[in-house]
Structure 1
Amino acid sequence: MKKNILITGTSTGVGFESAILFAKNNYKVYATMRNLDKAVDLKKQIEAHSLDIHLLPLDVTKTETIKAAVNTIIKNDGKIDMLLNNAGAGFAKTTEQATEAEIKWVTDVNYLGVVYCTQAVLPHMRKQKSGQIISITSVGGLVGQPFNELYCGAKFAVEGFMEGLAAYVSDAFNIKISCVEPGGISTEFMASAIEKTAVEGQFATGEYAPIFERYMAGNQQRAKESKIQVYQTGLEVAQVVLNVAQSENPPLRIRTSQWAEDFCKLKTQADPDGTKLVAQIKNSFL
């Protein structure tokens, strides 16, 4: 029987490309998204290439939809081999100017959604004594960045959550844990978001405005001049995810480009893939 994989956030970007790539590499893919009306492009790929991809509704901020999707997979296949926590959303705004609703939203989408999806699959992976959980985090999960502190805080939380899990579920239940850490990803969404933010100037006002203008100017300059070095395509990141999924001994964490590697070097150079730290944690606590 094929290995199956549940992927969140597959309407665009890394999730979209991962669903297609995994299906082309002989996985049975359960591609999920909040609104299945956005599955038009994915449906075209499924039909064009006869891909083994099954669409399910799943909103990572609503646990009932997560449980329903996992129950469907178990009912269909009797197992769940792999979870790719991909769904997430960027957020650029000062802490001072963010609303309570925005703070809750960025945390729910980028952190708690990962926790809830992981919580839903763990009982099944534990019982079958096998599984793999991969979370798309970010270089922002290792390095805090201006105007992204709320987003980075959520991604830091994912890193800590995955690291804590890896310290005990891997050996006890043969569940492999990994974080995939991209730098910038070149997508139409990213380009339009940068342009929209710069034009509307709505994310930083008052004394923050001149700092934010420098920040946005730097983003736009990098997008124009350093696209090859900084920004990857969704497919390039998806290929790293597939490599991790197919690895005999996958790393706890992996950057997806040389730029991302260099950007995080001061945080990662002592233990680039996180395996030494996990070993130390096990020795200290277990």
Structure 2
Amino acid sequence: MTDVALITGTSSGMGLHAAIELARSGFHVVATMRDVNRADRLLAAAAEAGTTVDVRALDVVDHAAAATLVSEIEAELGGIAVLLNNAGRGSVASAEQASMEEVRDQLEVNYLAPVNLTKLVLPGMREGGTGQILTVTSVGGAVGQPFADSYCGAKFAVEGFMQSLAPVAERFGVRVSVIEPAAVASDFVTNAERTATGGPYGEMLDAYIARSTAAFANAQSAESAGAAIAAAVLSDEYRFRWQTSEGATAFVGASLVDTDGSRVLGATRGWIAASS
């Protein structure tokens, strides 16, 4: 029986390319997206790669729909070998500027949705004694960044959840990992919520936007990031943390060894300094 990989957020970007790579590697890929009318790019890429994907609708914040989908896949296809939580959403606003609705939205998409899907697939994986759960977080899951308060908060939360779950799930043959990309050229920036405006934060925001624009101008390609995600799924080596580029590894590493927080703050202070 072909192994099944359930992937969220596959209409574009690295989720699309990860889906294609896993399908080419022999997985039955259930590729989900909120609006299946946006599947054209994915289907065209699959056809070009000489493979197929099983496109299904899923809004990840609809927990009841997620439960129905997982049940359907298990009944139709015999189980889920890989869950790849890829769907996510960005946010640009500091704490004072972000509404509580925006904060909750970040938690719903970037934290509660992957937690819910993880809970849904765990029983089948545990009973089968095997499985992989991988969650695409961000370098923002390890490095807090100016004007990304809500986004990084949600990404920190999901990394904490997954890291806490990992040793317990491992006892049942289930591997839990996070994958941390840095800047990736995709629709992610276009889809980010941007409630931050001028006011007392104006100069700092302008400096941050200028830095972010430069970073995304030299971003890792979505195809490269997707290939790195697929490689993590296919690897015989188990790691809790994977990054999609050398730059992402260096960025995350700078935070993980920063026991008093001075190294990260020393860097991020410069991100919001107005140019002279």
Same fold (TM over 0.5): yes
Please give the secondary structure, in 1, of the residue aligned with 2:92.
coil
Counterpart CA distance in 2 for 1:136 and 1:189 is: 13
Counterpart CA distance in 2 for 1:223 and 1:6 is: 28
Counterpart CA distance in 2 for 1:41 and 1:61 is: 23
Counterpart CA distance in 2 for 1:239 and 1:153 is: 27
**Shift, 1:77, TM fit:** 1.5
5+ residue gaps, structure 2: 259-276
Give the length in aligned residue pairs.
Answer: 258
Please give the secondary structure, in 1, of the residue aligned with 2:236.
coil
Match of 1:248 in 2: 236
**Shift, 1:43, TM fit:** 2.3
Checking the alignment, whether the CA contact within 8 Å between 1:27 and 1:52 is kept in structure 2 is: no
Match of 2:210 in 1: 217
Match of 1:100 in 2: 100
- Of stretches 144-153 and 203-212 in structure 1, the one that deviates more from structure 2 is 203-212
Counterpart CA distance in 2 for 1:267 and 1:188 is: 27
For the pair 1:81 / 2:81, whether they are aligned, the reply is yes
Match of 1:133 in 2: 133
**Percent of pairs with identical residues:** 35
Q: Deviations over 1:15-36 (max 9, x none)?
A: 1111111111111100001111
When the two chains are superposed, the root-mean-square deviation of aligned CA atoms in Å is 1.9
Seen in structure 2, the aligned counterparts of structure 1 residues 188 and 125 have a Cα distance that, compared at 3 Å, is closer
Please give the secondary structure, in 2, of the residue aligned with 1:89.
coil
Q: Which has the higher contact order (CA 8 A, sep 6+)?
A: 2
Please give the secondary structure, in 2, of the residue aligned with 1:111.
helix
For the pair 1:257 / 2:245, whether they are aligned, the reply is yes
Counterpart CA distance in 2 for 1:256 and 1:37 is: 29
Match of 2:186 in 1: 187
Checking the alignment, whether the CA contact within 8 Å between 1:5 and 1:80 is kept in structure 2 is: yes
Aligned letter for 1:213? D
For the pair 1:91 / 2:91, whether they are aligned, the reply is yes
Counterpart CA distance in 1 for 2:248 and 2:48 is: 34
Match of 1:28 in 2: 28
TM-score normalized by the length of structure 2: 0.88
**Shift, 1:187, TM fit:** 2.0
Counterpart CA distance in 2 for 1:55 and 1:69 is: 12
Aligned letter for 2:95? T
Q: Deviations over 1:46-86 (max 9, x none)?
A: 44445231111111111111112111211111111010000
Aligned letter for 1:219? S
TM-score normalized by the length of structure 1: 0.85
- Of stretches 234-243 and 58-67 in structure 1, the one that deviates more from structure 2 is 234-243
**Shift, 1:125, TM fit:** 0.5
Seen in structure 2, the aligned counterparts of structure 1 residues 189 and 118 have a Cα distance that, compared at 3 Å, is closer
